[in-house]
Structure formats: structure tokens, C-alpha cells
Amino acid sequence: MTLRWNLTCLLLILPIVFFNPFAQPARASGDPLPDTPFEQIREQARGTRVNWYMYGGWAHVNAWVDTFVAKEMKQRYDIDLKRVPMDAGVFVNKLLNEKAAEKKTGTIDLLWINGENFKNAKQAGLLFGPFAGRLPNVQQYVDPGSISHDFGFPVEGYEAPFGRAQFVFEYDTARTGTPPDTVAALKEWIMAHPGQFTYPQPPDFTGSAFVRHILYAVSGGHDPYMDGWDPDLYEKNAPLLWDWLNQIKPFLWQKGRTYPRDSAFLDTLFARGEVALGMSYHPPHAQNMIIEGSYPDTVRTFALKDGSIFNTHFTAIPFNAPNKAGAMVLADFLVSVDAQISKFQPENWGDFPVLDMNRLTLSDRQRFEAVDLGPATLTPEQLAKTAVPEIPAPYLEALEQDWKTHVLDR
Amino acid sequence: MSWTGNRTAILLLKLSPLMLPFLVLFCGGVFLTVCQSLGLFTPLPHTGGLVDAYAVILSDPSFFASAGFSFGVALASAAGSVAAATFLAYRVWQLPKKMAGAALVYKIPLILPHIAVAFVVLVFWSRSGILASLAHALGLIQSMQEFPNVLYSGWGVGMILAYTLKGTPFAMLLILALLVRFDVRQIQTAAMLGASKPRIFFAIVLPRLAPALHTSFIILFLYSFGAFDIPYILSESRPGMLSLHVFDLYFKHDLARRPEAMAILTLMFGFAVLFIIAYSRTVTRLENGVRKL
């Protein structure tokens, strides 16, 4: 009897020991590289392997990383690059579990991250840093003001810039005449073309961004929101947004009863002709789809005059990265002129550079100017004219939650 | 140490390859889920009370809409699968030996992953899909708007189709396993005594199949109630399946909302346990009633 009781106890306690949820959170793992000169970090990283966890849903981006980046990292720094496809929300959760289990040596060296995922990771102490300010290419080419905040959340050097994205709409010139160019005109257009428009349902990244455009447009632009979270302001302005979205609802695809789950779903609807307008947070997306053969050659993009939201995406290093030196070398290489130009070419990716063009040499600037973006992508000048910054993350979270109550469930 | 204690210890030791993964992974997982639903051991320090997450969820009418919808989809697809499987398995069993080999095609959906079946349904049934194109080519419809809105009818028809497609061969497998051991002379005797075909089926065959029907129904029901892959492709936005709400809360919202995701999971787990208990009790009571007659 006693033995059986003991065994039962043991078996019941085992999971607790295994998961050890009662343990105190890990101390910040010892910083292996305090103020080491970057040359020495490069030396330290030579002959090592870097595991880069990144969103894997874009074949052309994967190909660019596996070929150009991997080859250059090997040649320049003798570093083996291993790309691991994983959604940002998933690797943040993986790191949370590792942190809870006090796993001091993880498997991830570098993350591709921004926005809420960065905020979540930084608040939970999952990131190593600050390191961005120590990267030579960041020091030399990047305007610090342009990377001080990520969705209104202070970056403080815990992530290094990687690329820039801006929101555009897509349409097929062969099917649709002149597309609407303001938010007001968009509403008229939607009502005149029932069933031809929809947006991915928040919290999808793209759909959520679409909703923020409307918020800016119906409540006097982005300025009021830039000072951080103000509940009164939100309470005052959000109803204007819900009104707008509910007014177009009966004219949406499937009469607004259902929405595409993510932007890939919307892309499919657009490609198959079920809807007439597409949208993307990546200006070269349509051109990429044309090159890939998914969209017809006649697809073009446009931005609304009321403003089109841009953001910067970043790379960051986990607290328990086994190869922090290698991760820093890779993060630095990604900000180099060569990498940024290669990334800018639409046949590779078309992602916009994060470099401050005024800090470049004339010849480097000309290399950027010489890149042919393709007919479907707007030029950086066209995009810059309408560019407005992202909203601070607390607004974003509130909008995503309340959209469900005030639009979807209404 | 008593003799029985010793024997129990040895038995437990022998069972440990089965018990340990169960206890460590399953019970450990449930334990953590319940803890996090109460705001304990959450990634971000939880500031509210123990049952805050439950209060938030239970005060949200859309949660009940989703729960009811998930229940309906699971019920329809499990019942549909079991009914179709019973009919098909009975027919397959009656086939002459030569054709029985060909009937093995029923196993094909078994080897397809759920997500592949979801895509099959999407590709065939959407308004720009294969069936709509075919109907257009045959002149049955003039535009894709005329094709029945199967996937977005608000009733989860797409998901039910996919689950039934996947669940039917599974239930057939269990039912056929019972049928091959079935003594065909019972049927012959009944037929000689003048029983009609439906009567033979309902009075003789079906009661023998009951254990397989109940088992497959419970498994299929609980799977479709909680699974994620098919809804991810085929679910509509409203009312969404519960599993999708959990996914969104877990991966796409602020970390502070982790307890809500875990509370939904805990409620779903509790429901599954209650469902199994209630179902088996009802079945026992019904069978006892039959015996008394």
C-alpha cells in the first residue's frame, strides 16, 4: 500500500519536476560580447553556423536568403547560414517556453521580427541587446531617427533594421478602369461594385493595416495617435471607423458575412477574379506575383492619397542564442549596401532599403537608382508622397479586438 | 511490503512506457493549460484575479455562438460519417469476393492529411473552383455568382464535407473489422424465416455494429470539435470554430491575453470529458432498456 502510494505520488510529481513551472525565471544569460570591437566579433564568428528563424511563406524571399545571403555569408565571413521557416508568433512562443524552462542555450540565433511580436518578445525579456548600435553598417548608413520606434514601441537597439514596407492596393487594368484614389472614393467604388471588394480579417497583418488606414482617414490623419496610447482618443474615434466599415459591409465579398482569413487567401480571390481589388503591405508583392505567374501582367498597384502606412521590419537576437557573434555579423551584413541593393531588385524580392540615401556615396546611390522595380511597383518617390507612420501597438491591439465585436459580430 | 503491493509495483513498472508519456506530456500539458488559464506561470505577469479570463470569455456572446457552431459542425460531420460508413461498409461486405479488392479504394482518404482534404474541398466547391467551372462549361450556370455558395453558406457545409470525407473511411475501417467476424448464417436464417432486408439490417446487423459505431462517433465528434487544420482553410469568419479563436488568441494577440486562450482550451477539454461520460451513460441506459424488453 505504501509503495503504491509512493509510486503514485512520484508519477504525479514527475510532470511538475519536468516542466518546473515553480522555478524562478532565468537570470539574464551572461552577455558574451561586452563592448568587443566588431572586427573581433567577426573573427569570433568565423567558421560557425547561424540559424535564422524567419517567416517562410514567400518562396522568392526564401530563395534569396538561401542563395545570395547564404553564399555571401560563406564567402565573406566563413559563416554557414541555415534558414528555418517559422511564423513570428510561433518562435516568440518557442522562446517563451525556453525561458520558462530556463534553457540557457537555445537553437535560434537571429529572428526576423517587428511590431507586436517585437513588443511581446522585448517585454518578456526574450531578446539580447542592445546590439543594433554596435553594427558598423547601422552606424554608417542608417538614420537613427528612422529606427527609434517599431509600431510606437521603443526599439532601444534590441533589433537591427532590415527592410521597409508600405501598404498598396492592387488592381487589374484589364478588368478595372480607374481605381479609387482616396478613402472616400474607395467607399463609393465598393458600393458601386457589390461583392468585388473585401479585406483579410484582423488580426491578420494586412487586414489589420487596411483597417488602420480607414481609421486615419476618418479621424483626421495619423498625427493625433503619435503620442502613444490615449484611451479617450480611441473611444472618441473608433466609432467613426466602425461606422465606415459597417456601411461598406453589405457590399463586400460574401456580403461581409465572412472575410478571408489571411492575405494569401485574398491574393487567391484576386487572382481568380472573385474580387477586383487586392492589397499588400509589400509594394513589390504584385510584381513578384506577376513574375511568378500568379497574377496577369496587367496588374498594377496604387496608394490612397489619404496616406499609406509604412513600417520597418527588423532582425533581433534571442536571449539564449547559441551564436550571438554570428547573428550580429549576419544582422550587420543584411544592412550592408550590397545586401540592400540585392534585396531591392524585384527579381530577388523588391523589398525597400532601410538606408538613408543621403549617407551613401554617390556611386552607391546611383546603384539604388538604377534598380528597375518593374511596371507594377510604385517608385520610392511615389510611395514617399503618401507615406504615413504606423500606429502605436496598443491602438493596434484594441482595433483588432474591437473589430470583432463592432464589425464582424454585428 | 505486502505481496499485492509488490505486484502492483511490477505492473506499474511494466506499464510505464505507456504511462510516463501520458502522465508527463498529457497530464503535464493539461496542468499547465489550467494554470495559465488562471493566470499562473504566464509569460507576462498576470495582474487580474484567478478567474478573470473565464469571466471575459463567458461574458462574450460570440464565444457561445462559436461553441454552438463547433458543436453543430462536429455533430453533423460525425453523424454523417458514421451513417455513410455503416451503409458503405455493409455494401462492401456484401460484395462478391472478386470485387472486394477493388473496394479497398475507400482507404485512400485515410492516407490524405486533413489539410489536404480541406484543400480538395476548397478547390472543388468554391465559386471559382472546379465544379463551378465545369457547370459553367456545360452551360448550367452563366456566371460564378450562380453557383451555390457551398463554402460560405454560414452553416459550415465546407467543413462538414471535409470532415465527412475524412471520417467515413475511418469509421468504415472499424465497422468492417466487426463485420468480417459476423456470422453470415444469422442473416441467412433470418431471411429464411421471412425477414425483410431492412429488418435484417436494423434488427440483426446494426446491434452487432453498435460498439464500432459508438467508438467512431465519439472519436470523430471530439476530433472535429477541437481540430484546427480543416477550419483554418474552410471556416468562415462568423461564427468561427473555437479552435481558430484559440489560435488567434494564442499566436496573434497580445501576450497579456494568454489566459483567455488557455481558458477556452480548458473549457473545451472539460466539455470533451463530460461529453464522453454523458454519451457512454446514455448508451448504457439505452442498451439496458433494450435488454429488459
Are A98 and A124 members of one domain? yes
Are A219 and A305 members of one domain? yes
Q: Is residue A24 part of a domain?
A: no
Interface test with A, best of B252, B253, B260, B262 (most A CBs within 10 A): B252
Q: How much is the average pLDDT of B117-137?
A: 90
Enclosing H/E stretch for B46: none
Q: Does B290 touch chain A (CB under 8 A)?
A: no
Are A195 and A325 members of one domain? no
Interval A325-374: pLDDT, tens? 999 999 999 999 999 999 999 889 999 999 999 999 999 999 999 999 99
The C-alpha cell at A364 is: 552607391
Q: Does B149 touch chain A (CB under 8 A)?
A: yes
Q: Report chain A residues whose CB lies below 8 A from the CB of B40.
A: 21
pLDDT at position A26 over 80? no
The C-alpha cell at A288 is: 513578384
Q: Does B43 touch chain A (CB under 8 A)?
A: yes
Interval A266-317: pLDDT, tens? 999 999 888 999 999 999 999 999 998 999 999 999 999 999 999 999 999 9
- The answer to whether the CB atoms of A16 and B248 lie below 8 A apart is no
Yes or no: say if B237 and A408 are a contact pair by the CB < 8 Å rule: yes
Reported confidence tier of residue A17, pLDDT bands at 50, 70, 90: very low
Are A325 and A248 members of one domain? no
Are A216 and A323 members of one domain? no
What does the pLDDT read at residue A34?
62
Reported confidence tier of residue B13, pLDDT bands at 50, 70, 90: confident
- The answer to whether the CB atoms of B8 and A3 lie below 8 A apart is yes
What is the tally of structural domains in chain A? 2
Interval B238-287: pLDDT, tens? 788 999 999 988 888 777 888 999 999 999 999 999 999 999 999 888 87
Are A240 and A289 members of one domain? yes
Are A214 and A290 members of one domain? yes
What does the pLDDT read at residue A123?
92
What does the pLDDT read at residue A333?
97
Interval B202-247: pLDDT, tens? 988 999 899 999 999 999 999 999 999 999 999 888 788 999 999 9
Q: Are strands A308-316 and A110-113 parallel, antiparallel or unpaired?
A: antiparallel
First CA to last CA distance, chain B? 50
Q: What CATH number matches the domain at B31-292, 1.10.3720.10, 1.20.1250.20, 2.60.40.1120, 3.40.50.720? A: 1.10.3720.10
Are A244 and A391 members of one domain? yes
Are A187 and A302 members of one domain? yes
Q: Does A27 touch chain B (CB under 8 A)?
A: no
**In degrees rounded to 5, what are phi and psi of residue A65?**
-65, -45
- The answer to whether the CB atoms of B237 and A201 lie below 8 A apart is yes
Q: Domain residue spans in chain B?
A: 31-292
Yes or no: say if A118 and A316 are a contact pair by the CB < 8 Å rule: yes
Nearest to A258 among B1, B24, B238 (CB): B238
- The answer to whether the CB atoms of B237 and A408 lie below 8 A apart is yes
What does the pLDDT read at residue B3?
62
Q: Is residue A236 part of a domain?
A: yes
What does the pLDDT read at residue B251?
84
- The answer to whether the CB atoms of A274 and B62 lie below 8 A apart is no
* Residue in chain B nearest A9 by alpha carbon: B23
Reported confidence tier of residue B290, pLDDT bands at 50, 70, 90: low
Q: Report chain B residues whose CB lies below 8 A from the CB of A4.
A: 5, 8-9, 12
Q: How far is B13 from chain A (nearest CA, A)?
A: 10
Q: Does A123 touch chain B (CB under 8 A)?
A: yes
Q: Does A101 touch chain B (CB under 8 A)?
A: no
What does the pLDDT read at residue B289?
63
- The answer to whether the CB atoms of A397 and B254 lie below 8 A apart is yes
- The answer to whether the CB atoms of A409 and B61 lie below 8 A apart is yes
Q: Does A18 touch chain B (CB under 8 A)?
A: yes
What CATH number is attached to the domain comprising A373? 3.40.190.10
Of A272, A258, A317, whose CA–CA distance to A32 is shortest? A317
What does the pLDDT read at residue A187?
97
Are A78 and A146 members of one domain? yes
Are A299 and A367 members of one domain? no
How far apart, in whole angstroms, are the C-alpha atoms of residue A214 and residue A53? 33
Q: Does B127 touch chain A (CB under 8 A)?
A: yes
Q: Is residue A14 part of a domain?
A: no
Mean pLDDT of chain B: 89
- The answer to whether the CB atoms of B251 and A11 lie below 8 A apart is no
Q: Report chain B residues whose CB lies below 8 A from the CB of A209.
A: none
Q: Is residue A17 part of a domain?
A: no
Interval A98-129: pLDDT, tens? 998 889 999 999 999 999 899 999 999 999 98
Q: How far is B214 from chain A (nearest CA, A)?
A: 31
Q: Is residue A16 part of a domain?
A: no
- Domain span at A181: 166-311+387-408
Interface test with B, best of A5, A7, A198 (most B CBs within 10 A): A7
How far apart, in whole angstroms, are the C-alpha atoms of residue B275 and residue B278? 5
**Complex ipTM:** 0.79
Q: Does B17 touch chain A (CB under 8 A)?
A: no
Q: Does B128 touch chain A (CB under 8 A)?
A: yes
Q: How far is A59 from chain B (nearest CA, A)?
A: 20
Q: Does A6 touch chain B (CB under 8 A)?
A: no
- The answer to whether the CB atoms of B24 and A87 lie below 8 A apart is no
pLDDT at position A29 over 60? no
* Residue in chain B nearest A274 by alpha carbon: B128
Q: How far is B24 from chain A (nearest CA, A)?
A: 5
What does the pLDDT read at residue A33?
57
- The answer to whether the CB atoms of B251 and A87 lie below 8 A apart is yes
Q: How far is A365 from chain B (nearest CA, A)?
A: 38
pLDDT at position B18 over 60? yes
Q: How far is B167 from chain A (nearest CA, A)?
A: 25
Q: Report chain B residues whose CB lies below 8 A from the CB of A257.
A: 152, 154, 236-238
Interval A167-202: pLDDT, tens? 999 999 999 989 999 999 999 999 999 999 999 999
Q: Does B122 touch chain A (CB under 8 A)?
A: no
Q: Report chain A residues whose CB lies below 8 A from the CB of B6.
A: 3
* Residue in chain B nearest A120 by alpha carbon: B255
Interval A381-404: pLDDT, tens? 899 899 999 999 899 989 998 999
Residue A309 burial (10 A CB sphere; 0-12, 13-18, 19+)? buried
What does the pLDDT read at residue B293?
39
Are A198 and A277 members of one domain? yes
- The answer to whether the CB atoms of B251 and A259 lie below 8 A apart is no
Three-class DSSP labels, chain A: CHHHHHHHHHHHHHHHHHHCCCCCCCCCCCCCCCCCCHHHHHHHHCCCEEEEEECCCCHHHHHHHHHHHHHHHHHHHCCEEEEEECCHHHHHHHHHHHHHCCCCCCCCCEEEECHHHHHHHHHCCCECCCCHHHCHHHHHHCCHHHHCEECCEECCCCCEEEEEEECEEEEECCCCCCCCCCHHHHHHHHHHCCCCCCCCCCCCHHHHHHHHHHHHHHCCCCHHHHHCCCHHHHHHHHHHHHHHHHHHHHHCHHHHCCCCCCHHHHHHHHHCCCCCEEEECCCCHHHHHHHHCCCCCCEEEECCCCCEEEEEEEEECECCCCCHHHHHHHHHHHCCHHHHHHHHCCCCCCCECCCCHHHCCHHHHHHHHCCCCCCCCCCHHHHHHHEECCCCHHHHHHHHHHHHHHHHCC
- The answer to whether the CB atoms of A274 and B128 lie below 8 A apart is yes
pLDDT at position B110 over 70? yes
More confident residue, A225 or B5: A225
Buried b (16+ CB within 10 A) or exposed e, A66-95: eebbbebbeeebebebebeebbbbebbbbb
